[in-house]
A and B are shown apart, each in its own frame.
Chain A
């Protein structure tokens, strides 16, 4: 059924459909609406789950770790500093191979303090072993969370999935979302969680114990393999979802108007909507330009991206995060993928935009395209700086 829904409401509604048994969260802007809706659902009996209030994000992640280790479906959500505070536990969740699903309402990190959107927070978790999917709009956020459980709980994966949604831009914005009417259909798509290894007094296992140098290396190799091999499972999850619910927003990547393109803009998250509007206009004026959406940031779809980009001239990467001391993150990984596969005909330029919630307007995107096509080897240049302010802020 089509409804006008706030992003947070759409996310909590899709979590309701996935029927987690344990939810735990600590309040942080802009995640709060999601967990407030969920606590109301639990209190009203619309979702048969335990909602556990905790004293920090570290505890929230620890609660879902514990519950997940017992073999039940779990959910948590956070943002920014909260995610950084959870980091230690998320590495453990991944290392213990537990299928926790969580939302990150992407927000800038301190200092200085900012409550507004960029992607610096989830980028800090990129090496954790958690799968990271990035939603473009509220519909995709809705669909992606149900798919996230499907991916996380696949016996060949058994990893946490972080669903990234842009804070405020999606979480606090109302859009039309086509929701699933019958929970039975979701149950069919997402059968009950059945974990081979769990905490069970009748069949005891131990999680997270000390691994000596003789075994740790192999444990990490298996973890690395699991996330690398999850690519095909992410694709299957998207395809099955399409078959069942008629919605498809891409799997690992999603090309848009790329067939004959010379120039392609690569990006993740809600900024894609603005980019597509600009590209539509440029297409009308005859410019051969397209968009490549990266939907799965971890695992990184190197082959798929190289296949999509290998015949184009310019790839313009727009990022809302920066690896300080290096430059663009997404652009660096794309360049690496191209280099590894010996494709050196693509001019990749990476730009940092919209940190700390600064709006990225269609005009910004237009100006950037005009500039970027004339440039080479741009590795994470800050675009749209107000030079007058540079001497005034620390």
Chain B
């Protein structure tokens, strides 16, 4: 694999007339955007072959800034629009970008069913533990005990583990990274895109404005440090006790299953059979 280039022509992939973006200074979403662009460039996909769909939220603003075929849809439904696109034109590389609220709360139903079908698409979940755009309400990935505007004394709900959920629902490629681990992130995005089947990549990203401020991490630096310190490479996690893993998260490839039945292929195969 070629080395990550430091000098990279991002302009090639950006719709500069839609910039500046709306992300707050210090937000991690820009790092994910750039990693995604580098990964796509590395795979040498044609711009016209890439489709990015999104729902509503900070992460969902991404498609507006990039020069691919993009669609900004309704809250929670980005995967369903993506499925429609993929089914009609299977040759397209369909990527959905979604926040934790978008993918796992209002769109949770579509998340599990896309995984169940193992449809050949990639979902990148930007997990900042909160509804950043609306000012920091409790989301389904908000860590137990942490604070949000709707949980002023701490959350008493257990959060979803995005990767475990994806795996249990049937996704055949599951990984996690952070906006701190930019090099790993780029590699994982490329791997997700080349995997055949439904690939889910959770990226822990920092929202110091809506989440960090309420949780003793008011600067981007503190949040980036949190990501650095709490991340445990999956291969090291194998040798750790549950106590040692408490409050931390595994990164890297979490699960991969090759040669599983894939939804688009199965559907078209059946269509061919019916025609005969």
A residues within 8 Å of B by Cβ?
A: 26-29, 32-33, 35-36, 39-40, 43-44, 51, 53, 55-57, 81, 85, 110, 113
Chain A contacts of B133 at CB under 8 A?
29
A51 surroundings in chain B (CB, below 8 A): 150
Known: A39-B151, A56-B106. 10 other contacts (CB 8 A): A29-B134, A32-B149, A36-B135, A39-B150, A53-B151, A55-B106, A57-B106, A81-B56, A81-B74, A113-B56
Residues of B within 8 A of A35 (CB): 137, 150
| A81→B75 contact, CB < 8 A | yes
Are the CB atoms of B72 and A27 closer together than 8 Å? Answer: no
* Complex Cα–Cα for A40 and B135 (A): 14
Q: Is B152 an interface residue when CB atoms closer than 8 A count as contact?
A: yes
Chain A contacts of B74 at CB under 8 A?
Answer: 81, 110
How far is A235 from B166 in the complex, measured between Cα atoms in Å?
54
Complex: chain B residue closest to A39, CB-CB: B150
The smallest C-beta distance from B48 to any residue of chain A, in angstroms, reads: 20
Residues of the A chain whose Cβ atoms lie less than 8 Å from the Cβ of B157: 53
Whether B153 and A36, one on each chain, are in contact in the complex, defined by CB atoms closer than 8 angstroms, is no
A28 to B74, CA, bound (A): 12
Taken together as a complex, chains A and B put the C-alpha atoms of A191 and B193 apart, in Å, by 61
Which residues from B are CB-within-8-Å of A43? Answer: 151-153
B212 contacts partner chain A, Cβ-Cβ < 8 Å: no
| Contacts A/B (CB < 8 Å), 20 sampled | A26-B106, A27-B131, A27-B134, A27-B137, A28-B134, A29-B134, A32-B134, A32-B135, A35-B137, A35-B150, A40-B149, A43-B153, A44-B152, A51-B150, A55-B104, A55-B140, A56-B75, A56-B106, A57-B106, A110-B74
Neighbouring B residues of A56 by C-beta, 8 Å: 75-76, 105-106
Asked if B122 is an interface residue, CB under 8 A from chain A, the answer is no
Task: Determine if B179 is an interface residue (Cβ-Cβ < 8 Å).
Answer: no
Chain A residue numbers with a CB within 8 Å of B72 are: 113
Q: Which B residue sits closest to A112, measured CB to CB?
A: B72
> Complex: how many Å from CA A13 to CA B227?
39
Q: Is B138 engaged at the interface, CB distance under 8 Å to the other chain?
A: yes
> B75 to chain A: which residues have CB within 8 Å?
56, 81, 85
For the complex, what is the distance from the CA of A75 to the CA of B91, rounded to whole Å?
A: 48
> Least Cβ distance of B215 to chain A in Å?
16
A81: chain B residues within 8 A (beta carbon): 56, 74-75
Shortest distance between the CB of A54 and any CB in chain B (Å): 8
Does B26 make an interface contact (CB < 8 A)?
A: no
| Least CB distance, B198 to chain A, in whole angstroms | 21
Chain B, residues 137-160, CB within 8 Å of chain A (1/0): the string is 110100000000111110001000
- B220 contacts A by Cβ under 8 Å: no
A36 touches B149 (CB 8 A): yes
Residues of A within 8 A of B152 (CB): 39-40, 43-44
Q: Which of A33, A43, A53 has the most CB of B within 10 A?
A: A53
Chain B residues with Cβ under 8 A from A44's Cβ? 152
Shortest Cβ-Cβ A-B pairs, 8 listed:
A55-B105, A56-B106, A27-B134, A27-B137, A39-B150, A36-B149, A43-B152, A32-B134
Determine if B30 is an interface residue (Cβ-Cβ < 8 Å).
no
Chain A residues with Cβ under 8 A from B153's Cβ? 43
What's the minimum C-beta distance from A43 to chain B, rounded to whole angstroms?
5
Cβ-closest chain A residue relative to B106: A56
Closest to B134 in A: A27
Q: Are B150 and A53 in contact (CB under 8 A)?
A: yes
* Residue contact B106 to A36, C-beta cutoff 8 Å: no
The reply to whether B105 and A36 contact each other, CB–CB distance below 8 Å, is: no
Residue of B nearest to A38 (CB): B150
- Residues on A with beta carbons closer than 8 Å to the beta carbon of B135: 27, 32-33, 36
* A interface footprint on B87-118 (CB within 8 Å = 1, 0 otherwise): 00000000000000100111010000000000
Interface centre among B101, B105, B153 (most CB of A within 10 A): B105
Instruction: With both chains docked as a complex, state the minimum distance between the C-beta of B216 and any C-beta of chain A, in angstroms.
Output: 19
Bound Cα distance from A170 to B151, whole angstroms: 25
Q: Give complex CA distance A39, B138 in Å.
A: 11
Q: How far is the CA of A367 from the CA of B149 in the complex (A)?
A: 44
Q: What is the CA–CA distance of A27 and B151 in the complex, to the nearest angstrom?
A: 13
